[in-house]
Amino acid sequence: MHYTGTIWRPPYEASSLLLEVTAGCTHHKCKFCTLYHDLPFKFRMSPVKDIESDLQEAQLWSTDPISMLTARLQGISRPERIRRVFLTGANPFVLKYERLMAIAGLIHQYVPSVKTIGCFSRITDVMLKSDEELASLRQAGYDGLTIGIETGDDEALQFMNKGYAAADIVKQCRRLDRAGIHYSFFYLASISGAGRGEIGAKATADVCNQLHPVRIGINMLTIYPESELYQEIQRGNWKEESEIEKYKEIRALLEHLEIPAQFAALGASNAFLFQGTLPEDREALIAALNKIIETVKEDDLREYRVNLRHL
Ligand code: SF4
């Protein structure tokens, strides 16, 4: 398989086939982000021949009699049929409709057991597709996009150079709803800055409450010296929330969400991992956050953050 640089995928895509169709990010301007800094380029599309050869390799895993015999002799279970593909890169959904359709065609040709295709998407990537194209992409298997909206707080979105506003999130995700393409969000606690955490949480709940995200995943801002945000802090233009304020912010988000959704904090940026289903687990999740807020010391949480070498 061709994999370039660090490969990022959401926790719930652990059993999906990771197929590299892009590397890097077309936007590359969010002030807090250092995710694709290890690549020598900003963004690259994979050559079709590489995608095809990776799919041929994946096809062999689950259908090749020798692979199956080897697995049996080694006492490991028979390779599972591949049901889902996750396209890698920061925003493969930016690819032109025709290319996404061609990739779906190759996936179904080589691995016919695949039912759905997911990937990360930016809100601006959805804007590039017509309603008819979105419907047709859904028919071709695209479903379960993961969108790092980060927040519904316009002030924070603008300062961090996300490249869209809260109204764009609502407009574009409604288009996904109409096309039948499901999506999950990532929220970035502390993106609104010190003293504004709960404002950002409420603005985000307002956005989410108009939409139908399957999941809302929580990441916590972790600032690395290579980021532009670090420079902004040095210049005195921005201040990070305390670790405790980040937990209060997540609690405020939970308190204001009115939609059914999975809610989870599972990535490395979270010192405490938790997950549940809304609305039924809301009180238990809030109780867990209250316990952290009341009993865990700011210094201990900070120590976790500063020792986090990599997300
Ligand atoms: S946060 Fe996402 S969209 Fe923004 S620069 Fe990083 S990878 Fe690209």
Task: Give tens-digit pLDDT for 62-90.
Answer: 677 776 777 677 766 666 789 999 999 99
pLDDT tens-place values along the chain, 311 residues long: 999 998 999 999 999 999 999 999 999 999 999 999 889 999 999 999 999 999 999 998 767 777 677 767 776 666 678 999 999 999 999 999 999 999 999 999 999 999 999 999 999 999 999 999 999 999 999 999 999 999 999 999 999 999 999 999 999 999 999 999 999 999 999 999 999 999 999 999 999 999 999 999 999 999 999 999 999 999 999 999 999 999 999 999 999 999 999 999 999 999 999 999 999 999 999 999 999 999 999 999 999 999 998 77
pLDDT digits (tens, 9 = 90+) for 14-51: 999 999 999 999 999 999 999 998 899 999 999 999 99
Name beta bridge partners: 88.
Answer: 20
> Using CA atoms, how far apart are residues 293 and 269, in angstroms rounded to an integer?
17
What pLDDT is recorded for position 65?
73
Report which DSSP code applies to 269. T
Residue 144: CB partners within 8 Å, gap ≥ 6?
84, 116, 118, 181, 182, 183, 184, 214
What pLDDT is recorded for position 61?
77
Residue to substitute in 9, 35, 93, 222 for testing ligand 1 pocket (most ligand atoms within 8 angstroms of CB): 35
**Nearest CA-CA partner of 311 in 11, 17, 18:** 11
> Using CA atoms, how far apart are residues 145 and 136, in angstroms rounded to an integer?
15
CA atoms within 13 A on the CB side of 225: 2
What pLDDT is recorded for position 60?
86
Q: Where are the domains of the chain?
A: 1-143, 146-311
Residue to substitute in 8, 9, 22, 30 for testing ligand 1 pocket (most ligand atoms within 8 angstroms of CB): 30
What pLDDT is recorded for position 76?
62
Residue whose CA lies nearest to ligand 1 atom number 3: 27
Under 8 Å between Cβ of 23 and 44: yes
Q: How many residues appear in the chain?
A: 311
3-state helix, strand and coil shares in percent for the chain, rounded to the nearest 5: 45, 15, 40
Distance from the alpha carbon of residue 75 to the mean position of ligand 1, in angstroms: 42
